[in-house]
Amino acid sequence: MTDQSQQPDRNLALELVRSTEAAAIRASAWAGRGQKNEADGAAVNAMRQFLHTVSFDGVVVIGEGEKDKAPMLFNGEHVGDGTGVQVDIAVDPIDGTTQTAAGRPNAVSIMSVADRGSMLDASSVFYMDKIVTDRTGVGVVSLDQSPEDNIRELARAKGKPVGEMTVIVLDRPRHEELIERIRSVGAKTSLILDGDVVGGINAASPWGDADLLIGRGGSPEGVITAAAIKAFDGFMQGRLAPKDDAERQRGIDAGLDVDRIYGGDDLVASDNTFFVGTGVTDGVLLKGVKGPRDGYIHTQSIVLRSKSGTVRWIEADHLASKWA
C-alpha cells in the first residue's frame, strides 16, 4: 500500500485539468478541417507544456508510443516539475482524432493518474476485449460468457426487459457478428465510431444512457477506462487480444498474461485514481470547445476521483487573447 503522504491528493486533478483544457482548445482549431495529424500534434504540444508546470513526478505509462516513434508524451517520459507525489499517468491528448478531423461528435482530451507502479502497461498488445457496466454487473457478467447471456443476465439483475437494454459497440467490421448477436436477443445497439473510453464511462456511470459496453478496442484505452470508472464503482474486465503470434510473444515477453481475464483492479491497482477529460467536440459525455465568442473560449470538463467517489463538472471561460 502506498504511503498516504505519497498518494496524489485531491488538488492534483484540478491542476491536471488545465492540461486537458489546453489540449482541447488547441485541437478544436483543427476540428472539421480533415487534418488529424495536425490536430493531434497541437493537442500533444499543449498538454505536455501544461503538464510540466504541475507539481508532481509523473511517468507516462500510456502515451503516444515508444520514444523513437513519439518525441513527446512517449511511454516512459517523466512529466511534471519533478516535485511532489510520484504517479503513473496515462494520456490521450485526443481520444478521437478522426472525429476531430471530420468535425464529428465525442472527441475528448483525456488523462488518468494513479499511484506509481499501479497501472498495467499493456502497450505491447494493441487490442483488448472489454466488457464494462455499472456495479450491477459484478458477479453477473463476464468475458467468459456469451454476449447473449451477458445481456440477459444483466437485464435480470437490473430488473428491466432485454428489449430496453442498450449496448455500446465500436462500429468496426470486426464487430459485425457481435452486433448481430446483440440485436438477435432483442437488445439495442449504440454504435460509436471511436472513443470507447467515453463509451465505457457512459455504460458504467449513473447518468449514462447505455447499460453495457462490449467489444474489442485499444488496450491503452482499457487501462484509462478502468481508472475512470473506479469513481463510481463501475465494473470492467479486459482480455488481451494479440493480432498474431509475434504480438502474442511480445506480450508474454513484457510479462503479460495474454490468456487472463484482467479485472478493473488488475488494470489499475490503486484505490486513489483520477480521471480528467475535456470535450473537443460535442458528445454524450461533454460539450466541445466553443468560441471564441465575445472574447472568450468556453470549455467543459469532468474530473473523477475514486478515493472520494467524486464527480466534478467544470465549466471554464478562457480569455481568447491569451490563446492567440
**What CATH number does residue 136 fall under?**
3.40.190.90
Q: Are residues 73 and 193 in the same domain?
A: no
Answer for the pair 58, 71: CB distance below 8 angstroms, yes or no: no
Single residue among 246, 267, 288 that ends a domain in this structure: 267
> Of 267, 289, 312, which residue is a domain's last?
267
Pairing state of beta strands 108-115 and 166-170? unpaired
Residue 276 dihedral angles phi and psi, to the nearest 5°: -130, 140
221 is known to lie in a ligand binding site: yes
Tell me: do 223 and 299 sit in the same domain. Answer: no
Regarding whether 289 and 212 lie in a shared domain, the answer is no
pLDDT average, residue stretch 145-165: 97
Q: What does the pLDDT read at residue 14?
A: 84
Instruction: Please give the pLDDT value at position 75.
Output: 87
Give me the residue label for grid cell 517523466.
78
How many domains, the chain?
2
- Whether 137 and 263 share a structural domain: yes
Tell me if 172 is assigned to a ligand binding site. yes
pLDDT given at position 151? 98
Rounded percentage of the chain residues whose pLDDT exceeds 70? 95
Residue 231 falls inside a structural domain: yes
Same domain (yes/no): 138, 261:
yes
Residue 1: band (very low, low, confident or very high) from pLDDT cuts 50, 70, 90: very low
Whether residue 166 lies inside any domain: the answer is yes
Contact 218, 126 (CB under 8 A): yes
- Determine, yes or no, domain membership for 54: yes
C-alpha cell of residue 82 = 519533478
Same domain, 255 and 311: no
Residue 35 lies in a domain: yes
First to last CA, the chain: 45
Known binder of ligand: residue 317? no
Question: Do 37 and 80 share a structural domain?
Answer: yes
Average pLDDT, the chain: 92
Mean pLDDT of 68-72: 65
Helix axes 147-158, 176-184, angle to 10 degrees: 40
Residues 259, 142, single domain; the answer is yes
- Is 127 annotated as contributing to ligand binding? yes
Same domain, 131 and 258: yes
- Position 10 scores a pLDDT of 58
At 60, the pLDDT band (50, 70, 90 cuts) reads: very high
DSSP strands (E only) in 18-165: 57-62, 78-79, 86-95, 108-115, 127-133
Was 195 annotated as part of a binding site? yes
Q: What are phi and psi of 254, to 5 degrees?
A: -85, 0
Please give the Cα distance from 313 to 279 (Å, whole number). 11
Binding site annotation covers 296?
no
pLDDT top residue among 107 and 5:
107
194 annotated as ligand-binding: yes
On whether both 235 and 307 belong to a single domain, the answer is: no
Mean of the pLDDT values across residues 51-79? 83
Task: Tell whether residue 33 is among the known ligand binding residues.
Answer: no
Confirm or deny that 242 is annotated as ligand binding.
Answer: no
pLDDT of residue 64: 80
Same domain for 153 and 94?
A: no
Q: Can you give the pLDDT at residue 181?
A: 97
CATH number at residue 16: 3.30.540.10
Residue 16: inside a domain: yes
Domain range holding 48?
11-119+273-322
Q: For residue 93, is the peptide bond before it cis, meaning its omega torsion is within 30 degrees of 0?
A: no
- Same structural domain, 25 and 69: yes
Closest listed residue to residue 148, CA positions, set 203, 110, 186: 186
Helical axes 36-51 vs 10-28, angle rounded to 10°: 150
* pLDDT band, residue 72 (cuts 50/70/90): confident
Residue 315 counted as an annotated binding residue: no
Check residue 218 and give its pLDDT: 92
Check the annotation: does 271 bind a ligand.
no
114, 68 contact by CB (below 8 A): no
Decide if 208 is inside a domain: yes
pLDDT tens for 177-208 read 999 999 999 999 999 988 789 999 999 998 88
**186 within domain boundaries:** yes
The answer for residues whose C-beta is within 8 angstroms of residue 271's C-beta and 6 or more apart is 230, 306, 307
Find the helix or strand (DSSP H, E) in which 14 lies: helix 10-28
The verdict on residue 1 lying in a domain is no
288: Cβ contacts below 8 Å, ≥ 6 apart: 24, 28, 31, 105, 107, 279, 280, 281, 282, 300
The answer, yes or no, to whether residue 66 has pLDDT greater than 90, is no
